[in-house]
Structure 1
Amino acid sequence: MTLLNTFDLTHPIVQAPMAGATTPELAATVSNFGGLGSLGGGTTAPDILNDHINTLKSLTDRPFMINLMVLSEHDSTTLDSETPAWLSEYYQQHNIEIALPKRPAHNFREQLQVLYDNPVPVASFTFGIISAEHVQRLQSLGTHVIGTANHPLEAKAWAEIGVDAVCVQGVEAGGHRGGWLPQSTNDPLGLLTLISQTRACTDIPLIAAGGIMTGQAIKTIQTAGAELAQIGTAFLTTDTCAINDSYKQALLDASQDKRSSETRLTRLFSGKQARGLLNDYLRNFAQFENAQQLPPYPQLNAMTKSLRSQAKKSLDVEHQSLWAGQGVALVRKEKTIELLERIVKEL
């Protein structure tokens, strides 16, 4: 049984669940086309997540995926780190009020309960691993389960608790890295290396993510041992994506040599490694990148929220988190359906 059959797909395309960027309309467009559309629900309140699922169910009768970020109760409720001095100084210099929330992240267990109460075709998880009991309960409701891994040991751990597939995310991928073991951050693996090393330790079906922008790239990862390709950055500049116009234009400028397409892995925005376009924020505060000097995720993420919000309001791309993968130079301004048709023609 292939993943195309398991998920009832026509094309080997999974649209990446980019929290804050995905919309029900984007996911439904991909699913109706025959790929697996998805919604990044990790930063969404449980009641809104439930509404989004209902909207998706009204827009498509095809399989779709909901992605959640695995956080402990302690992680999602604790704000006990000091705001870094360099960040406080930035706020003072720019007269930005630091508005810290009562808790740095939504409650994962409450989000997971939404998937129990309002079952979805596919659920994926990132930033940590759930229990075998969670997997079995979701599967008993008709939900296929996908784990995220940046290292073969993480993929093996997911396989051992009975998930249907693992998404292996190479170092090329944009946005947050989904792994949780120290090995995944200490020595990040490129996608093809990650696929081959994972294949050597488990036969779990694989979805590949990281720098995939073309049909040719999909054929490459399939030859390497993955069945489906998870594509994120390519969708950011399409019509149904939710990112703001200044962010979208920065990505397009990077593809047209109007700004550098150089990306960096950084913890400076959220406390967790994520890849985005290099901008002034990452340049100016690079000296504080050391993990020991930064509050952990999601605490730093909460602390930089005011900075990022102000940057969006003022169309300041130099202080936004411009998440993008290493394939960003290939983005185009196009409709979602045009992107999908173009990739499939290349297969």
Structure 2
Amino acid sequence: MKLLDQLGITYPIIQAPMAGGATTPELIAAVSDFGGLGSLGAGMTAPAALNSQIDMIKTLTERPFMVNLMVLSDQDASTFDTSMPDWLTQYYREHHIKAALPDRPAQSFAEQLQVLYENPVSVVSFTFGIVSIEQVQRLQQLGTCVIGTANHPLEAQAWAEIGADAVCLQGMEAGGHRGGWLPESEADPLGLLTLIGQTRACTDIPLIASGGIMTGQGIRAIQASGAQLAQLGTAFLTTDESGINDIYKQALLDTSLGNRSTETRLTRLFSGKQARGLVNEYLLDFAVFDKKDELPPYPQLNAMTSPMRANAAKNEDAEHLSLWAGQGVTQVRQERAITLLERLVQEL
């Protein structure tokens, strides 16, 4: 069965599950109702809130939608075992920002996953790690399709071996956090078409492609290379239904208007894990510290920089926000999600 039919969608378009409030129920429902696959980025969402959001989406659409979780161990999600970097402490002191840390750096993955056992959805995807074969089978027994995320062919193979229904290949062009977990995926980041080709040569698991795709022509290109569906993130960030704040949204739009540098960069400075975003003052000012061995790991650094990002949002300061964006960012438009979707389908 083709992946399009297995997921119950009409068009080969998945709206990427971007955590942090970007993927509102309204955006998800708009994409799913159109015939694509809307997705909830729930990796940073408390279990009770996740359950409520799933219920809300189910009231807005009867079509399939996806929920995405970040795979974290209990130890990683619950423990601060590194100190805040001196340069970040100094930044908070100089800018009079109270840098109080939460009790734990991230939500409990086990508790989030339990929500999906008790309140099943059509599709679940995972990023930042891999689950067990038992967890895959339990979800599938509930009627849920399971999708893994990979930045390297070895990661895609690992998902195939535990029985995942598909793998989303995330090329180095993609905005936001890289979803892989093996050292190989960090050492030599692969472009999307190269990643598709190398993965296709070692496994026949159905593939979804993500990274820099902004047009129907881009979707056709990845299909010609061996992927069945395309997952688009940055293109949806500037739609009316997107939940990102106006400062972030305007920074993205400014790249398309020639009012801001279009340079993006893979960085660990915001969270401790590689992620691609627009270059701003924060990335430039602290670039010397952007080294894996010198930074607290994810999710600890992510929690440590949260007060800075919250203060930046409050003060409408795009230069200290994490402006996640893929390399296709100059093609964003301010429009309704359905307008974007109609254009993509017309271009197919």
TM range (shorter): over 0.9
Once residues 8 and 47 of structure 2 are traced to their aligned partners in structure 1, the CA distance between those partners, rounded to angstroms, is: 27
| Structure 2 unaligned regions, length at least 5 | none
Partner of 1:13: 13
CA RMSD of aligned residues (A): 0.4
Aligned positions, number? 347
What displacement does 1:199 show? Answer: 0.3
Partner of 1:282: 283
**Paired AA for residue 4 in structure 1:** L
Partner of 1:329: 330
Counterparts in 2 of 1:241-280, with a 5 A limit? 241-280=242-281
Task: Give aligned-pair identity as a percent.
Answer: 70
Partner of 1:48: 49
Once residues 308 and 5 of structure 2 are traced to their aligned partners in structure 1, the CA distance between those partners, rounded to angstroms, is: 45
Runs of 4+ in 1 over 4 A off after TM superposition: none
What displacement does 1:97 show? Answer: 0.6
Partner of 2:183: 182
Q: Does 1:39 align with 2:23?
A: no
What displacement does 1:319 show? Answer: 0.3
Once residues 336 and 13 of structure 1 are traced to their aligned partners in structure 2, the CA distance between those partners, rounded to angstroms, is: 12
Once residues 244 and 155 of structure 1 are traced to their aligned partners in structure 2, the CA distance between those partners, rounded to angstroms, is: 34
Once residues 174 and 250 of structure 1 are traced to their aligned partners in structure 2, the CA distance between those partners, rounded to angstroms, is: 14
Q: Does 1:92 align with 2:93?
A: yes
Write out per-residue CA displacement over residues 124-167 of structure 1, whole angstroms, 9 at most, x where no aligned residue.
00000000000000000000000000000000000000010000
**Paired AA for residue 310 in structure 1:** N
What displacement does 1:8 show? Answer: 1.2
Partner of 2:307: 306
Q: Does 1:2 align with 2:6?
A: no
**Paired AA for residue 259 in structure 1:** R
Write out per-residue CA displacement over residues 255-281 of structure 1, whole angstroms, 9 at most, x where no aligned residue.
111001110000000000000000000
Counterparts in 2 of 1:196-275, with a 5 A limit? 196-275=197-276
Once residues 320 and 330 of structure 1 are traced to their aligned partners in structure 2, the CA distance between those partners, rounded to angstroms, is: 21
Partner of 1:157: 158
Give the structure-2-normalised TM-score.
0.99
Once residues 95 and 56 of structure 1 are traced to their aligned partners in structure 2, the CA distance between those partners, rounded to angstroms, is: 40
What displacement does 1:80 show? Answer: 1.3
| Structure 1 unaligned regions, length at least 5 | none
What displacement does 1:305 show? Answer: 0.3
Give the structure-1-normalised TM-score.
1.00
**Paired AA for residue 164 in structure 2:** V
Write out per-residue CA displacement over residues 248-307 of structure 1, whole angstroms, 9 at most, x where no aligned residue.
000000111100111000000000000000000000000000110000000000000000
**Paired AA for residue 64 in structure 1:** F
Secondary structure in 2 matching 1:124: strand
Secondary structure in 1 matching 2:202: coil
Partner of 2:138: 137
**Paired AA for residue 2 in structure 2:** T
**Paired AA for residue 237 in structure 1:** T
**Paired AA for residue 309 in structure 2:** R
Secondary structure in 2 matching 1:304: helix
Secondary structure in 2 matching 1:343: helix
What displacement does 1:19 show? Answer: 0.3
**Paired AA for residue 2 in structure 1:** K
Q: Does 1:75 align with 2:76?
A: yes
**Paired AA for residue 287 in structure 1:** V
Once residues 271 and 87 of structure 1 are traced to their aligned partners in structure 2, the CA distance between those partners, rounded to angstroms, is: 13
What displacement does 1:105 show? Answer: 0.1
